[in-house]
Each structure stands twice: as structure tokens, then as C-alpha cells.
Amino acid sequence: VSMGYTHIDTALVYRSQKQIGAVLAAKFMSGELRREDVFITSKLFHGEMAGLTRRGSTLPLDDMTPEEVAEAIEGQFELILEELGVGYVDIMLMHWPAIMDSKNKNNAARRLAAWKVLENMLERGQARAIGVSNFSEHHIEQLMKDGAKVLPHVNQIEASVYKSWHDIKAYCDEKGIKLMAYSPLGLGKESLLNDPVVLSIAKDKGLAPSQVALRYLIQQEYAVLPMSSSEERLRLNLDLFSFTLDEDEMNKLSALG
């Protein structure tokens, strides 16, 4: 925040919201920031996963009725606002469409039940926008067909030079759904910062590899969510609008995905 970042991306399952709330409260009280100066995205509706199940932050979705889901999501929404210490979030997302790899026949009904809660929170002003995360075009189409009144404003997906989802991007572009890219620099062994193509373009332009990789997504109209603990990297990741990639460079990067 002190460096100029104003978009905070968090989630109930991250267990980082109390710390974020404490920092923001100090900034608000000192007058350094106002609530409208920061843009907060959070997420709920995360099914239980091996190694990730945390009391109160994940849900045993396959064992829940739609009515139970709605009640749980109401509680999760209230908890998020309480932990952050704010009266509203700028975007609230459904974290996943279902438990990973679940084929449960009631998944669609549970998604709709959760989405109805988000629609109510949007109407009440506790969320300025609502959206989804990790949803395919099928999930969004099903949600609307089943009775959703509000089309998701955002779909947050994993995207990078190495991961190009042409179908979901085309669908979201057509529907006017904004795409956010998480893990835009790759994950683990997929880290693209040492890729020869990325390195070559970065060297030619006098840039860091991360700047090239992030600018690639920005020119495809993604909102990017890079993560780093390095102050130098954080500063570099802010400087993405003083240069552009030409058509040849974009094509070279596109070929990697």
C-alpha cells in the first residue's frame, strides 16, 4: 500500500483478511488513505480440499443442500466484512464452481444458491460488483440459465504467457465480463521468468522479464494480480504502462501458450 498498490486481492481461505484490515485501519485513522482509495476483492464459496480445509473458510459442499449453502455464504460474507473492517467490498467472487473434480448432481443448484446471496449483497451495497473465479463458460451459462439475475461482472482465472484460455476469454469478452489473471507469472516449475523468449524480449527492451509477462496480459485486457515479497519486484510490477509490446513480440509470447 505504501508503494502505491491500491488493489488488494484476498479471500476467506487465505486467512489474511484480519492483517489486511489492521493495516487499512491504521492508514484510514492516520488520514493516509480513505476507503475509496483502495479496491478490495475477496472470495468465498471454497469447497474442502486436501491440505487446505480450514474451519470456517471452506465448506463441505457435496454434503450441503442449496439452502444450507445460502445460509453459510451469508455467514461467510459477514465474516469477510468483519475481518477486513470495512462496510463493503469492491468485488466479491465465488472462489470455485464446486469442490475440485466434483461431479455431484447438485453443484449447479448450490452455485445458484450462493450467487443469489451475492446478488442480494450487491443490491444492499455490501459489494460494489460480484463475480466468479475459476468458472468455465459452461458454468456461467448454466448459472444464468438457472435463474441468476446479474451476469458476473468478473471472472478471475489463472492466466499467463503459458496459460491462454481462448474459449473462456472469447466468451467473457463477448459477454462483457472482465477477466482477472491470477498467477500471471506462472506457478512453481511453470515460472516463466527464465523462459528464453521472455528473456530475449526483456533484454531487447531493457525490462525485467516479469514486466514483459505482465504487459502481455494487460494488452489482452486482463487485470493482472502479481504476487511478490520482493520490494524491487513490487516496484517493477507497477511500471507496466510506460511501454508496449509490438505485434511480433505479442505473437512470440502467444506461441508459448
Question: What are all long-range contacts of 224-232, with beta carbons under 8 Å and residues at least 24 apart?
Answer: 224/180, 224/181, 224/184, 225/7, 225/9, 225/156, 225/180, 225/181, 225/182, 225/184, 226/184, 226/185, 227/183, 231/3
**What's the pLDDT at 156?**
98
pLDDT of 191 above 80: no
**Integer CA distances (angstroms), 191 to 94, 108, 253, in order:** 26, 34, 14
Catalytic residue among 5, 14, 88, 162: 14
pLDDT of 238 above 90: no
Q: Compute how many other C-beta atoms are within 10 angstroms of the C-beta atom of residue 252.
A: 17
Which of 95-104, 121-130, 234-243 is the least confident region? 234-243
Q: What is the pTM of this model?
A: 0.93
Which cell is 158 given? 489463472
Q: Helix, strand, or coil here: 234?
A: helix
Q: What percent of the chain has pLDDT over 70?
A: 97
Does the active-site annotation cover 182? no
Q: What is the mean pLDDT of residues 164-177?
A: 95
pLDDT of 224 above 80: yes
Q: Helix, strand, or coil here: 66?
A: helix
Q: What is the mean pLDDT of residues 74-95?
A: 97
